[in-house]
Amino acid sequence: MVALRTRQIPADLDKVLGFQLPLLVDRLSQKLEIARDEAEKLFEDTKRFLFLAATHLDPISPTPEIDEGWHAFILFTRDYELFCQENFGFFVHHAPSAPGQKTKTLRARFVARQVFGDNLSLNWGVEASGSSDCAPESNCEAPPADCATN
């Protein structure tokens, strides 16, 4: 198993997941034209991703689905800032990659499996043809090479 490099902060996953923002869930449901329960799951996965981003030292990138949830959350600026400060003690910035730049989406799914187990929602899925981290001929279930630590 690959060792995950973590940041020592007092983050509590139950507290992170307990944060509610019904207006955001409504916005996700309407904007993405998905059922409310799917929007709730997307917000939950967005919070899980933010937990990983805050507690792990190595950079990760969200999947396109989770990125949509993160973008929507950031628009609620006061709520997002409060969520970050109360849960992590710092603001989790969103730094988009440049066009053509390799992302760390595959690493995010790998780390999520290590932390949350194999029962991840479809929001964590990465299609081989759509990711610069994963070529069709590679084994997308194996740890990405950049997850190895010395």
**Lookup: tokens for 49:** 């991703």
Buried b (16+ CB within 10 A) or exposed e, 6-43: eeeeebeeeebeebebeebbebbbeeeebeeebbbbbb
What does the alpha-carbon distance between residue 58 and residue 53 come to, in Å, rounded to a whole number? 8
Supply the pTM of this predicted model.
0.79
> What are the tens digits of pLDDT across the range 8-67?
776 799 999 999 999 999 999 999 999 999 999 999 999 999 999 999 888 888 889 999
What does the alpha-carbon distance between residue 89 and residue 18 come to, in Å, rounded to a whole number? 17
> What are the tens digits of pLDDT across the range 60-92?
888 899 999 999 999 999 999 999 999 999 999
Per domain, the residue ranges of the chain are 13-145
**Tokens 């949830």 — which residue?**
69
92: amino acid identity, one letter:
V
